[in-house]
Structure 1
Amino acid sequence: MPTEFAAHDPVTAAAPSWPDFPDLEPGKALEAFPPLNAATARSIVQDRWERLVARAVVPEPPERVWKALTSPEEVCHWLAVCRGAPAREDQEYLLDFEDGEFFQCRTEVATAPSAEGHGVLRHLWRWAGVGPATRVVWELDPVDGGTQITATEEAFNPPSDWRSWNGNGWPGILDQLAGYLRTGTTWRWPWRRMGPYVQIELAAAPYDAWDVLSKPEALRYWLQRRYGDFTTGSKLVLVMGDASGTVEMTVQRHVEPNQEFPSYLPWLEFGLRRASWPVELGGKLYIEPAGLDRSLFQIFVDNWENVPAAVQREERQIIAQFFRDAMVRAQQLISPRPSSSHPHGWS
Structure 2
Amino acid sequence: MTDGHTLGADAGTWREADGGWELRFERRLRHSPERVWAALTTPEGLRGWLAAAEIEPRAGGAMILTFEQPETEDFPCRDDVRRQANEILTWRPPELFEHSFGHPDSVVSWRLRPDGGGTHLTLTHRVPAEWERDLSRTLSGWHHHMEGLDDAIRGRRHGWDWPRWRGLRAAYAAEVRQ
TM-score where L is the length of structure 2:
0.68
| 1:154 pairs with one of 123, 126, 150 | 126
Conserved? CA contact 1:95–1:104, under 8 Å: yes
In structure 2, the residue corresponding to 1:90 is in which secondary structure? Answer: coil
Name 1:145's counterpart in structure 2: 117
> Closer, same or farther in 2 for the Cα pair 1:94/1:188, shift >3 Å?
farther
Larger Rg: 1
Give the share of equivalent positions with the same residue, in percent.
Answer: 29
In structure 1, the residue corresponding to 2:59 is in which secondary structure? Answer: coil
Cα drift, residue 155 of structure 1: 1.5
| 1:121 pairs with one of 97, 100, 106 | 97
Name 1:18's counterpart in structure 2: none
Name 1:165's counterpart in structure 2: 137
Conserved? CA contact 1:80–1:188, under 8 Å: no
Give CA deviations for 1:105-138 in whole Å, capped at 9, x if unaligned.
100101002xxxxx00001121xxxx56400000
TM-score where L is the length of structure 1:
0.36
In structure 1, the residue corresponding to 2:38 is in which secondary structure? Answer: helix
Q: Supply the AA of the counterpart residue of 1:105.
A: N
Cα drift, residue 190 of structure 1: 5.3
> Closer, same or farther in 2 for the Cα pair 1:69/1:134, shift >3 Å?
same
Structure 2: unaligned runs, 5 residues or longer:
1-17, 69-76, 164-178
Q: Supply the AA of the counterpart residue of 2:59.
A: E
* Residue 60 (structure 2) pairs with residue 90 (structure 1): yes
| 2:36 pairs with one of 42, 65, 68 | 65
Cα RMSD after superposing both structures: 2.3
Q: How does 1:282-293 map to 2 (within 5 A)?
A: none
Which consecutive segments of 4 or more residues in structure 1 shift more than 3 A? Answer: 188-192
Cα drift, residue 142 of structure 1: 0.7
* Residue 144 (structure 2) pairs with residue 179 (structure 1): no
Cα drift, residue 191 of structure 1: 6.9
Distance 1:123 1:160 in 2: 20
| 1:102 pairs with one of 75, 80, 83 | 83
Distance 1:75 1:156 in 2: 24
| 1:75 pairs with one of 42, 46, 64 | 46
Q: Supply the AA of the counterpart residue of 2:36.
A: V
60-69 or 162-171, larger mean C-alpha shift: 162-171
Higher RCO (C-alpha 8 Å, min separation 6): 2
Distance 2:127 2:29 in 1: 27
Name 2:72's counterpart in structure 1: none
Q: How does 1:240-251 map to 2 (within 5 A)?
A: none
Name 1:56's counterpart in structure 2: 27
Distance 1:73 1:160 in 2: 32
Distance 1:132 1:122 in 2: 12
In structure 2, the residue corresponding to 1:154 is in which secondary structure? Answer: strand
Distance 1:140 1:166 in 2: 21
Cα drift, residue 73 of structure 1: 1.9
Q: Supply the AA of the counterpart residue of 1:68.
A: A
Conserved? CA contact 1:79–1:188, under 8 Å: no
Distance 1:82 1:189 in 2: 16
Structure with more of its chain in helix, by fraction: 2
Q: Supply the AA of the counterpart residue of 2:93.
A: A
Q: Supply the AA of the counterpart residue of 2:92.
A: T
Name 2:176's counterpart in structure 1: none
Q: Supply the AA of the counterpart residue of 2:38.
A: K
Distance 1:163 1:109 in 2: 24
